Chains A and B, each alone.
Chain A
Amino acid sequence: MKNQLNNFKNTLKIVLCFSILALSVSCEEAFEFELPEAGSLPDNTLPTANFDYIPNAVNFRSIEFNNLSTESTNYIWDFNGLGSSTDKDPSFTFDAGEGIYPVTLTSKDANEASTTVTIEVEVVDKFVAIPVTINNGDFNGGSSGWSFDNFTGGTTSAFNASSDGSFTNYDGSDNGAKTKGAKWTKATSAGAYLSSNTRYAYQAITVSPTLTSPVRNVDYILEFEYAIKTPAQAAGVAPGGNRIYAEILNGHFADGADAVASTPIVQFIADEVKGKRVHTTVQQKFRANASGEVAIMFYAVTDVDVYIDNIKVYAAD
């Protein structure tokens, strides 16, 4: 009986030991360090692919792509099978020119999750009119660039050189003092005073032609400043008033006599009398002819001194 009791006590001890062991083991598990991946969340913010594009300013065939994808780091571009790129913001030249090209962008994140977008890229040859540079438009070079090569029955002198031009520089900034300009007087006038001494300022220019098939109308603007002396500054009024003629001629002319006899595309009569040094800016629109070869011509009909300055021609837009 005593032995049995001892056995029971021993069994109890062993059971107790095992249960303590089991407890401590499970505790160890409970306090085990977390593995790096444990507790991390799945990436539910998946990439979205999107892009925009802008044609290159110089070459319309070259398209600059702007990646607007989110949550992504790797990119695969497919330019309609014509090429590919893994750049973020690639440029691609569609050598075949105008057309619609489906471009596919696949955006991937670092988990290789990806989305794809296909956008039709429109390559268009947008017309940009030829810019015109006027030779000696500020008259700082005297009459250089403004004379006819020859003039049957007249003079190739363009105008009277003048230091009484506009106060404005050619770039539009204020010079703070007068600049050089071009001048006409009664002796160099046309109209009632037409003579072999009548002077014409002439310059041939080339513009983008107006086309009829397909229709493409090209408009330009002739800009200049002018001033006419008031009666208080100088007496005398020419028949029809003191005025300056600004014309765009339909073609290039080697002989001044032919130019004067031609019918201009457009004629503007500048006749606001505000006085010497008070310049008025004129912007006269004209449509280019079919050849694109046009010419600027200025002359005056006046009793008093008149002035022009800062001649410009640019595309109307």
Chain B
Amino acid sequence: MKKYIKFLIFTITATLFVSCNSDEFLNPLPDTVIVAETFFQTDADVLSGVIGIYDAVQGVNENTQSSSVRFNRGVQLEYLLTEHRSDNTRSKTLEGSRADFHRYIVEPENIQSEDYYQSMYEIIFRANNVLKYVANADASNINKYTAEAKFLRGYAYFNLVRLYGAVPLLTRVVTSEEKELLFTRVDVAKVYEQIVLDLQEGTTNLDNAHKSRASKAAAQGLLAKVYLTQPTPNYAGAKQMCEAIINSGDFALETDFRNVFYNELNNEIIFAIQYASGDPNESQGFSSEFTSYKRQGRQDGLNIVNPNLAVDFINNGGNRTGASYAAFGDDANLPIPEDAEVIKFLPLGSDISDTNLPTYGDQPGNAGNDWIILRYSDVLLMHAEAVMQGNDTNDANAIDSFMKVKVRAGFDAITDRPAVLTVNTLLLERRVELAFENHRFFDLLRLGVAHDVLGAHATLKGYTSYNIRRLLLPIPSREINLSEGLLTQNPQ
């Protein structure tokens, strides 16, 4: 009997060892799991992968998932990193990490900056993933899907390189073991080369069938901006891209400036990220954050209009002024409002006609206003910029494009036409035409006046932390910690 017990114990122990060694015992694969390797089987699967990239750009509404840690916000927080860091807008309160941007005190630990950085890499990851399995799509669609994924990858890298400088450049799906690739920063010029390659594919393989997805014109327009921005600008290329869009005849300025924002996917829109009002999974939270006097958002009011922008609007805005911002309460009686609010993205059902009692519809926190990434007036002004090549110009084509935008705003085609178009005039026009659409910070950088303008702005406002290093955001510390010493920080 004793003998048998010994054998029994030995056998049980042996079995235990064997099962312990197996990974599957401790990490079973749930039946419901979708593994990338097995998911992309058909054309429809690849297409849903492509749509999934747009989902990463769209981001998750803060009012749906309020945790700051686990959810990518996509473009929904972009105004903090761009408009707040220009002279256009600021946070009403000084509390919390969202109030760090306009005072130029963003630290590597800033959660919104980290979220944006991660969001952009999420877009890049999803794009690379689609590219890996795109061969499973119908032969006729492979080029189109490829161009679409690359367009979005180029879009994400363009944002990253302008905000963070040199960044790791991933053009394929990378495992977490490949630390060198994941965390080695690549020269800004190299990143731009990749962006240009990615966007060029869209200019040949896409058509203008969509506005809420990548199109030929979207690739041309974004490429024009990349050409104007890259370390050695390609003005001829930018001009050619803008003229291709202008001559396509597919786009036109809306007669009423307000309709650009409240008539979704109108003639002027080239590329926009769509949201659906009232749907927690497809709505955005920024519209409600832009309210303050009767606040609907989670904060005291973000993207609050600086008086200095209001002055530029009063003098140069024309009929855009009344459609871009509004002042409420006592502020409405001032000649120049101190705390005006953005009204380009008011939630569905808003009524702000009573400046003492504005209302914002049933579900301001789940707003459906689209986020416009590229529109026609931007292309017209880029056309002028490409002709100017950084100098003042009397070129009639450049001034014609410039005047189209100005005339729509209610100015006279003859008496308000300048004989010479200066860089400052163009910058001012872009400021009032594209205010609150996250262009100003990049415009100042691109036209080489960021330090002059923002330095003076910071001095005026008493933002003493400003210095030239603040024009680049710090690389999020989470990434640096994960990199085990590979990822380097920007000058601090």
Contact = CB atoms under 8 A, between A and B. Distances in A.
Contacts of A70: 488-492
A6 interface: no
Given A50-B491, A70-B491, A45 B485 contact: yes
Interface residues of B, number: 13
Interface string B447-485: 000010000000000000001110000000000000011
A89 B451 CA distance: 15
A58 to B, nearest CB: 14
A43 B488 contact: no
Contacts of A89: 467
A66 interface: yes
A52 B467 CA distance: 12
Nearest to B311: A173
A84 B451 CA distance: 26
A67 interface: yes
A69 interface: yes
A52 B468 contact: yes
A119 interface: no
A45 B488 contact: yes
A59 interface: no
A68 B469 contact: yes
A41 B491 contact: no
A303 B314 CA distance: 38
A67 B484 contact: no
B185 to A, nearest CB: 11
A68 B491 contact: yes
Contact of B484 (A41, A66, A172): A41
A43 B468 contact: no
B22 interface: no
Interface residues of A, number: 17
B467 A43 contact: no
Question: Which of B315, B490, B492 neighbours the largest number of chain A CB atoms within 10 Å of its CB?
Answer: B492
Contact of A66 (B467, B485, B490): B467
A69 B491 contact: yes
Nearest to B489: A70
B489 A41 contact: no
Interface string B305-345: 00000000011000000000000000000000000000000
B488 A66 contact: no
Interface string A192-223: 00000000000000000000000000000000
A4 interface: no
B140 to A, nearest CB: 49
Contacts of A174: 315
Contacts of A43: 485
Contacts of B485: 41, 43-45
B465 to A, nearest CB: 12
A271 interface: no
A54 B456 CA distance: 14
Nearest to A66: B468
Contacts of A293: none
B488 A173 contact: no
Interface string B156-172: 00000000000000000
A172 B469 contact: no
A67 B315 contact: no
Nearest to A281: B415
B469 A66 contact: yes
Interface string A49-80: 01010100000000000111111000000000
A41 B484 CA distance: 9
B488 A67 contact: no
Nearest to A50: B491
B460 to A, nearest CB: 15
A173 B312 CA distance: 10
The 3 A-B residue pairs with the shortest CB-CB distance, nearest first, are A68-B491, A66-B468, A44-B485
20 contacts: A41-B484, A44-B485, A45-B485, A45-B488, A52-B468, A54-B451, A54-B468, A66-B467, A67-B491, A68-B469, A68-B491, A70-B488, A70-B489, A70-B492, A71-B489, A89-B467, A172-B315, A173-B314, A173-B315, A174-B315
Interface of A: 41, 43-45, 50, 52, 54, 66-71, 89, 172-174
Given A43-B485, A66-B467, 6 more contacts: A54-B468, A66-B468, A68-B469, A70-B488, A70-B492, A71-B489
